[in-house]
Amino acid sequence: MQKNLRLHYDISGDDYTRAGEASAQLKQVLRQLGLSSSIIRKVAIAMYEGEINMVIHANGGTIDVEIDSACISLVLRDTGPGISEIDLAMKEGYSTASENVRSMGFGAGMGLPNMRKHSDYMKLESTPGVGTTVHMKISIGEE
Amino acid sequence: MTIAEIVDILDAKVLSGEELLARDVHSACGSDLMSDVLAFVKDQSVLVTGLTNAQAVRTAEMMDIICIVLVRGKIADSGMIELAKDRSVAVLQTQHSMFAACGLLYERGLRGGGKSHAKKS
Ligand SMILES: Nc1ncnc2c1ncn2[C@@H]1O[C@H](COP(=O)(O)OP(=O)(O)OP(=O)(O)O)[C@@H](O)[C@H]1O
Ligand SMILES: [Mg+2]
């Protein structure tokens, strides 16, 4: 790849059936760029979990993706309720998801741990009442 | 085995993906928790589940799963089939329970595959 590729996605907060569409689109782009399937898988999982979180916990938001020759950077921003105890939220199994969300197959409390596991760098910033921003980087190149 | 063989083994109805029946599948997973699928699945191509919504298809799409088996005769949401057709994911419906469906496929040689399958503690 010669120059950096920047992509922006607006994530709607009121349509659960569309949650994941942005991740599916990015996955398509990465395929066209010819990235390896294991890198694509990592990005897809990390972004999809983040996208779902935005929809189910924060009423939507935005995702900015930057791809250069060394890595794929994702920035997920929302103006939802925020997370007061980040350490707790990062624990496997911790979830405040509603019954409705659980009935859709989410709410296992695995999303954030999964995002950490599949990214090479992750930073979660959140202020209760203001919103949440998640930064993730996945390196291309070495597997 | 092929998706067509799964249809046969589970006496299943094809709700979407007739054109995918000849595709080969090597391993499967069974779960109603999408985050678990996202966390632990590795290169499985079949998802056996009780979830009947579009998110099951989205999750499949992320994980390169090409066939979803709905157990206990569950009715797929209209949004699920629509999305599955669009994304080329086969959706099958069987009257068998999750336990029986997984057992029957296992008996016929389909395995869990991936690392989670043989995890030692
Ligand atoms: N963008 C967000 N805004 C507000 N709260 C969030 C956000 N993302 C996560 N959280 C909080 O952190 C908790 C843990 O998130 P995590 O993604 O790990 O699990 P979950 O979404 O509840 O379930 P799963 O991801 O397994 O479906 C959530 O239950 C929620 O309380
Ligand atoms: Mg989550």
Residue B29 placed within a domain: yes
Q: Is the CB of A33 under 6 A from ligand 1?
A: no
Domain count of the fold of chain B: 1
At B43, which CATH number?
Answer: 3.40.1390.20
Instruction: Over range A127-135, report the average pLDDT.
Output: 97
With tokens 């290169």, the residue in question is B43
Helix (H, G, I), strand (E, B), or coil: what is residue A28?
helix
Residue B120 placed within a domain: no
A-B C-beta contacts closer than 8 Å: 75
Residue B62 placed within a domain: yes
Task: Give the whole-number percent of chain A exceeding pLDDT 90.
Answer: 90
Residue B87 placed within a domain: yes
Q: Which domain covers residue B34, as residue numbers?
A: 3-107
Alpha helices in B10-65 (DSSP H): 34-40, 54-62
**Contact by Cβ (8 Å): A139, A120:** yes
Q: How would CATH label the architecture of A5-139?
A: 2-Layer Sandwich (3.30)
Complex ipTM above 0.90?
Answer: no
The residue whose CB lies within 8 Å of the most ligand 1 atoms, and thus the one to mutate among A16, A83, A127, A132, is A83
* Distance, CA of A122 to CA of A117 (rounded, Å): 9
A4-15 confidence digits (pLDDT tens): 999 999 999 988
Q: Does B83 touch chain A (CB under 8 A)?
A: yes
Q: Does A17 touch chain B (CB under 8 A)?
A: yes
